[in-house]
A and B are shown apart, each in its own frame.
Chain A
């Protein structure tokens, strides 16, 4: 029973961790209609920022989180219009061109980081790293709780922003129908740049946490891209609320299969779930996707 409770907690926390970098990913898909392959690249960039902030400045890893938002948010803001132009160009298959562009961006980030910072694995230390709390028989790893709280804050913040502000209304309108939104006076190009900047910033912030929970090297980006994509498919592409539910579901499946069946089957179980969901409910588990 103790192991069962511990496994449940592990699963929910894995879900929280995955949710940190998938919520904004979903928003980008909803607004820009682009599957951003570079999501893992932004995560790794955030991780490295965390490492350098701790190693060079001697600060706590958490200090890198706001910095990551500002720095990579600005970078994303600059890249956003390029992505928008490619996505809305008059080439034959603009959606595929946009996918290729983000794949190229991902490859560039990965190669650039490998050249600039080498292949050694780095670590981000925070005051919560390695700390835990014993609640009855269950050990609660605090750094993962921080990630889950972060995910909840991002989800809550985005919800308020999208549903309670005028600009959020414009974003939702654009996601629903960008032509009508443009006719209502929304500057789609600027809005796209803002959304991509917001997404890059949030994802890089999550990256600092990933560096603190796991570790960071230029090669780990691909696995974040994969998991973001799994969650997106499971949630229904573009559904922000579904992303949280899907991440939690994946986390719990991974934890229970690892503990009670065998770790080598955990990814198999995830793929099988994905397959079944695509067959039964292609719009995602909450049926809200595109």
Chain B
């Protein structure tokens, strides 16, 4: 048996060093070009470009890019009569909040971005917030939906999409107005896990705000069987059954209700019925289920850059290869907020650290109309810096398709209410 002994080799060391220096030099030009481009605004996108949330992450990236492309095609953001283009930089949170915070720090320190566009997930957004605070860089979040993001009162973060508790809460008001004869009583079921529970709490609190009666509020464990809770609710005979959960539980609620021959007059669910897999899994049984979305291509809003919601949707469909949902729309609208704030701020690039703080204050004063809807940030309360202006759109599955049914100005079809009994 021979003993292999690897000693230090001068040749190997020099060879390795040469390789490292070459690799470093190859990397340099990119750094230099980024620095060399003067007189542009620099925006960093921090989102999930790999890992579990890659689909949603890319959706947000595409949304932010739609704005950057549109504004650069016009020559850039207008400041004091001149136009300045926007450079986009990307950071990957790898679907992991802690990595997101690191990537945000890199974007701020190395790429010297003036502003950040926020992550796909609320978890990452919460992790990135302290970084924005530390470096005093504003962030506009086009996707985060959890109320926990805003409960922390983030000074430098602004949200475009209303947090899920307001969305689900307000939707019951829309439902009460759209239903005929008007719905009066509501039972709420939500899965006992963070996002679903917040949705359920939104429904629960929305019942009172809409002037309805709450007959039951049930938290079910994700592993539990639904027959007992559905039987209990069936005995209470509420007009509306509202369910907070993801698609699996929503599918199980419909299946369990049908197997117990129980159908409320309206079944409203959030989040996930707009996912085509929902209607696919349930077939004809999915018909009549009501859902909530923040934005649809059919809403009657418009702005100068993107035009109407429909025009935005057509343009985005061409570029993304599929119809944009409200996340992509919210992200594109984030850019409109930035453009408007930069214009009002009136500072030309490159922004100094104190300009970024002033930019944060300018964003806080946003009050604009966009293709996505009105945008204005809360100045106080539990939804601090979130845009709770948009009225949610009520959708219903009709003939396997998701159609808008309320409020009246967004409706594309009549609301089927009350639902007929199971055949």
Q: Which of A3-11, A72-80, A156-164 contacts B (4 or more CB under 8 A)?
A: A3-11
Residue of A nearest to B275 (CB): A120
Contacting B221 at CB < 8 Å: which of A220, A255, A266? A266
Task: Give A229 to B335 CA distance when docked, in angstroms.
Answer: 52
Instruction: Quote the shortest CB–CB distance from B419 to chain A (angstroms).
Output: 14
Contacting B247 at CB < 8 Å: which of A3, A121, A125? A121
Interface centre among A132, A219, A251 (most CB of B within 10 A): A132
Task: Give A142 to B283 CA distance when docked, in angstroms.
Answer: 19
Q: Does A26 contact B (CB under 8 A)?
A: no
Contacting B231 at CB < 8 Å: which of A3, A129, A217, A266? A3
Interface centre among B189, B259, B277, B285 (most CB of A within 10 A): B259
Once A7-B228, A121-B248, A259-B232 are accepted as A-B contacts, the answer to whether A129 and B223 lie under 8 Å apart by CB is: no
Q: Does A91 contact B (CB under 8 A)?
A: no
Task: Tell me whether chain A's interface is mostly helix, strand or loop, or mixed.
Answer: helix
Is A121 touching B281 in the complex (CB atoms < 8 A)? yes
Task: Give A121 to B276 CA distance when docked, in angstroms.
Answer: 11
Is A10 touching B261 in the complex (CB atoms < 8 A)? no
Is A132 touching B224 in the complex (CB atoms < 8 A)? no
Contacting A10 at CB < 8 Å: which of B189, B228, B252, B280? B228
Q: Does A239 contact B (CB under 8 A)?
A: no
Residues of A within 8 A of B278 (CB): 121
Residues of B within 8 A of A141 (CB): 227, 256, 259-260
Residues of A within 8 A of B229 (CB): 258-259, 263
Q: Does A192 contact B (CB under 8 A)?
A: no
Q: Does B352 contact A (CB under 8 A)?
A: no
Residues of A within 8 A of B282 (CB): 123
Is A258 touching B260 in the complex (CB atoms < 8 A)? no
User: Which range contains the number of A residues in contact with the other chain?
Assistant: 35 or more
Instruction: Quote the shortest CB–CB distance from B127 to chain A (angstroms).
Output: 23
Q: What's the A-B contact tally at a CB cutoff of 8 Å?
A: 118
Residues of A within 8 A of B221 (CB): 263-264, 266-267
Contacting B255 at CB < 8 Å: which of A10, A17, A129, A254? A129
Residue of A nearest to B285 (CB): A130
Residues of A114-138 at the interface with B, using a CB-CB cut-off of 8 Å, are 120-123, 125, 129-132, 134
Instruction: Quote the shortest CB–CB distance from B198 to chain A (angstroms).
Output: 15
Is A264 touching B247 in the complex (CB atoms < 8 A)? no
Is B231 touching A7 in the complex (CB atoms < 8 A)? yes
Residues of A within 8 A of B231 (CB): 3, 6-7, 10, 139, 259
Residues of B within 8 A of A130 (CB): 255, 258-259, 285, 422
Once A121-B251, A129-B255, A263-B229 are accepted as A-B contacts, the answer to whether A258 and B224 lie under 8 Å apart by CB is: yes
Task: Give A9 to B221 CA distance when docked, in angstroms.
Answer: 20
Contacting A215 at CB < 8 Å: which of B192, B251, B283? B251
Is B277 touching A267 in the complex (CB atoms < 8 A)? no
Instruction: Quote the shortest CB–CB distance from A87 to chain B (angstroms).
Output: 29
Q: Does B36 contact A (CB under 8 A)?
A: no
Q: Does B220 contact A (CB under 8 A)?
A: yes
Q: Does A93 contact B (CB under 8 A)?
A: no
Once A134-B261, A215-B281 are accepted as A-B contacts, the answer to whether A123 and B218 lie under 8 Å apart by CB is: no
Is B219 touching A262 in the complex (CB atoms < 8 A)? yes
Is A267 touching B227 in the complex (CB atoms < 8 A)? no
Residue of A nearest to B258 (CB): A130
Task: Give A170 to B281 CA distance when docked, in angstroms.
Answer: 45
Residues of B within 8 A of A220 (CB): 248
Residues of A within 8 A of B220 (CB): 258, 263-264, 266
Contact with B along A249-282 (1 / 0, CB 8 A): 0010011101100111011000000000000000
Q: Does A226 contact B (CB under 8 A)?
A: yes
Instruction: Quote the shortest CB–CB distance from B227 to chain A (angstroms).
Output: 4
Residues of B within 8 A of A256 (CB): 228
Residues of B217-255 at the interface with A, using a CB-CB cut-off of 8 Å, are 218-225, 227-229, 231-232, 235, 247-248, 251-252, 255
Is A3 touching B232 in the complex (CB atoms < 8 A)? yes
Contact with A along B191-231 (1 / 0, CB 8 A): 01000000000000000000000000011111111011101
Task: Give A158 to B189 CA distance when docked, in angstroms.
Answer: 40
Residue of A nearest to B422 (CB): A130
Contact with A along B37-75 (1 / 0, CB 8 A): 000000000000000000000000000000000000000
Once A121-B248, A141-B260, A264-B192 are accepted as A-B contacts, the answer to whether A3 and B235 lie under 8 Å apart by CB is: yes
Residues of B within 8 A of A129 (CB): 255, 258-259
Q: Does A143 contact B (CB under 8 A)?
A: yes
Residue of A nearest to B229 (CB): A263
Residues of A within 8 A of B225 (CB): 10, 14, 17, 251, 254-255, 258
Is B248 touching A259 in the complex (CB atoms < 8 A)? no
Contact with A along B336-360 (1 / 0, CB 8 A): 0000000000000000000000000
Task: Give A17 to B259 CA distance when docked, in angstroms.
Answer: 14
Residue of A nearest to B227 (CB): A10
Is A266 touching B261 in the complex (CB atoms < 8 A)? no
Residues of A within 8 A of B224 (CB): 254, 258, 263, 266-267
Residues of B within 8 A of A215 (CB): 248, 251-252, 255, 281
Q: Does A283 contact B (CB under 8 A)?
A: no
Residue of B nearest to A258 (CB): B228
Is B277 touching A121 in the complex (CB atoms < 8 A)? yes
Q: List 10 A-B contacts (CB under 8 A).
A: A3-B235, A10-B228, A10-B231, A123-B251, A144-B259, A223-B223, A251-B225, A254-B224, A264-B218, A267-B224
Given contacts A123-B283, A259-B228, 5 further A-B contacts (CB under 8 A): A14-B228, A120-B280, A255-B228, A264-B219, A266-B221
Minimum-distance CB pairs A-B, first 5: A258-B228, A141-B259, A120-B277, A130-B258, A264-B219
